[in-house]
Amino acid sequence: MKRIHIFLAGLIITGMAACSKYVDTPLPKNELVSGLVFTDDKTATAAVTGLYSTMNAYNYQFANVLMSYLPAMQSDEMYYYSSYADYDVFRETRLIPSSTFTTRMFADVYSYIYQMNACIEGISTSNTLSPAVKKQLLGESYFTRSFLYFYLVNMYGDVPMITSTDYKENGIKPRAPRAAVYDTIISNLKSAVALMGDDYPTGTRVRPNKAAANALLARVYLYNQQWAQAEATASLVIGNSRYNLLKDLNSVFLANSGEAIWQLQPVNVSGGRNTWEGFTSTPPNATASALFRLDTLQLIRKFEPGDQRLANWTGFRKTAAGATYYFPYKYKVRLGTVGSITEYSMVMRVAEQYLIRAEARIQQGKLTEGRDDLDAIRERAGLPDLPASLTQPALLLAVEQERKVELFAEWGHRWFDLKRTKRSDAILGPLKGTNWQSTDTLYPIPSDAIRTNVNLTQNEGYK
């Protein structure tokens, strides 16, 4: 156990250096003893919040560009401006078990889960933390571990359930069935809801609260086709006056936006950088090319005339030949004023909850109520209400459309939506051509993981 505490102490120091606003803890750097981390409110808080800094400290990590842009390239949203092998395999659905980024995400997410397991163990057994802090930190740890497993199970399917810090046991864990992983996620999220408060611990929205746990729980219920539970849980978030659909679309992705349920605070801000998404996507000047470009046929032309999301959340450039291409512009700041951070990375926002509730209601035959939720999203985008005559199948297609144009280039939503609604073959098959096979909806288990764990098996299509 001493090794875990020393490891976490290093994480605390790293997190403090990267992001002092998460927690301000004068932890001694050279005289760390076993048991120190979870005996004090400040150091225990640093152990948990240090992970948020770690996840977002560098570019092309799970929690920023990778999880938002790689699935977007694999679906029908985005492409990279030139040939780059590690991206091309996503766009062309040619992933193999040794592909760089699927291997990185698998390894990184499990390392984050290990850190949360250590926090859960240390916080649970501590007798010296104040009760309020202990409850909040334990709730954050359960939430964050659930969040990480949600992405693992949707990227890789059946995955090992690692819930302890016993490295010998963890190293031989077989893959747990998807249903079992979801059962654990739901159980942990219910615990997080019971433990965490409504308020944000620091006032800013960079640490999860009860609403964040409910928001993820609503999403999980939707993915599991538990329509009534998804509707009821999303309603808890929508009914919270702390969250609202902002009329100004350019305010949605600002720091501590009224639409934000959970954001990641930028931690590597040298030169005036804000988010990695903004730094990566936004061209440095009016004539420079964009690295990541939105698919004109499959996304840009799918916006209805007058949709203000197209006008406000995409940018465009013209090539020397006169052709126009578009890029993600939800985040506007590539390099801003040094010392002034105006944008945070959005992880979860209330618009998704309206879309979750709309779909859940329509699936239950509550067509009017579901249409009302869709209209709330559409009206904010400057679009007219949907016709009252739309049938259930038509309304479900309207949900798909609104999710596509509302959540593009955010956290793999489009990729996961096509998979969970069994629409991947119909939509992506004709686009990807002969490379496409139904098993491409899951990523391969990395060959490194299989090599070091004799009980791991490979996904179909990659054997």
> What gap in Å lies between CA 160 and CA 153, rounded to an integer?
9
**pLDDT score for 35:** 58
- Is residue 91 within 8 Å of 85, Cβ to Cβ? no
**pLDDT score for 360:** 99
Whether 64 shows a pLDDT value over 70: the answer reads yes
- Span 296-314, mean pLDDT? 98
**pLDDT score for 281:** 94
**pLDDT score for 50:** 94
Model confidence at 26, in pLDDT bands (50, 70, 90)?
very low
Whether 30 shows a pLDDT value over 60: the answer reads no
- Span 152-168, mean pLDDT? 96
Q: What's the order of all strands across the beta sheet hosting 314-318?
A: 78-80, 292-294, 324-328, 314-318
Whether 120 shows a pLDDT value over 50: the answer reads yes
Domain contains 6: yes
| Total number of domains in the chain | 1
> Roughly what angle, to the nearest 10 degrees, separates helices 210-223 and 131-156?
30
How is residue 384 written in tokens?
A: 């007219």
Whether 36 shows a pLDDT value over 90: the answer reads no
Domain contains 291: no
First to last CA, the chain: 38
- Percentage of the chain modeled with pLDDT above 90: 90
> What gap in Å lies between CA 280 and CA 273, rounded to an integer?
10
- Span 8-18, mean pLDDT? 45
- Span 382-405, mean pLDDT? 98
Q: How confident is the model over 180-223, as pLDDT tens digits? A: 999 999 999 999 999 999 999 999 999 999 999 999 999 999 99
- Is residue 381 within 8 Å of 252, Cβ to Cβ? no
DSSP assignment of 365-430 equals: T-HHHHHHHHHHHHHHTT-PPPPTT--HHHHHHHHHHHHHHHSTTSTTHHHHHHHHTT-HHHHHHH
- Span 130-158, mean pLDDT? 98
> What gap in Å lies between CA 181 and CA 173, rounded to an integer?
13
**In 196-337, which residue ranges form alpha helices assigned H by DSSP?**
210-223, 227-238, 276-281, 308-313
What range does the domain containing 113 cover? 2-258+346-452
Domain contains 48: yes
- Span 167-189, mean pLDDT? 96
Whether 52 shows a pLDDT value over 50: the answer reads yes
Q: How confident is the model over 228-243, as pLDDT tens digits? A: 999 999 999 999 999 9
- Which CATH number is 392's domain given? 1.25.40.390
- Span 429-442, mean pLDDT? 96
- What is the overall mean pLDDT for the chain? 92
Please name the residue that has the structure tokens 């004109």: 296
DSSP assignment of 360-373 equals: HHHHTT-HHHHHHH
Q: By C-alpha distance, which of 231, 116, 235 is closest to 184?
A: 116
Domain contains 134: yes
**pLDDT score for 162:** 97
- Span 8-35, mean pLDDT? 42
- Is residue 54 within 8 Å of 87, Cβ to Cβ? no
**pLDDT score for 228:** 98
| Beta strands 345-349 and 260-264, pairing class | antiparallel
- The whole-model pTM stands at 0.94
Which tops the pLDDT comparison, 31 or 275? Answer: 275
Domain contains 335: no
Q: Which residues of 382-402 are buried (b: 16+ CB within 10 A; e: fewer)?
A: bbeebeeebeeeebbebbbeb
Domain contains 148: yes
E strands, 39-167, in order: 78-80
E strands, 142-190, in order: none
- Span 351-375, mean pLDDT? 98
> What gap in Å lies between CA 342 and CA 440, rounded to an integer?
38
Whether 131 shows a pLDDT value over 50: the answer reads yes
**pLDDT score for 320:** 86
> What gap in Å lies between CA 396 and CA 416, rounded to an integer?
16
The neighbouring-strand residues paired with 263 are 346
Please name the residue that has the structure tokens 């590597």: 268
Domain contains 181: yes
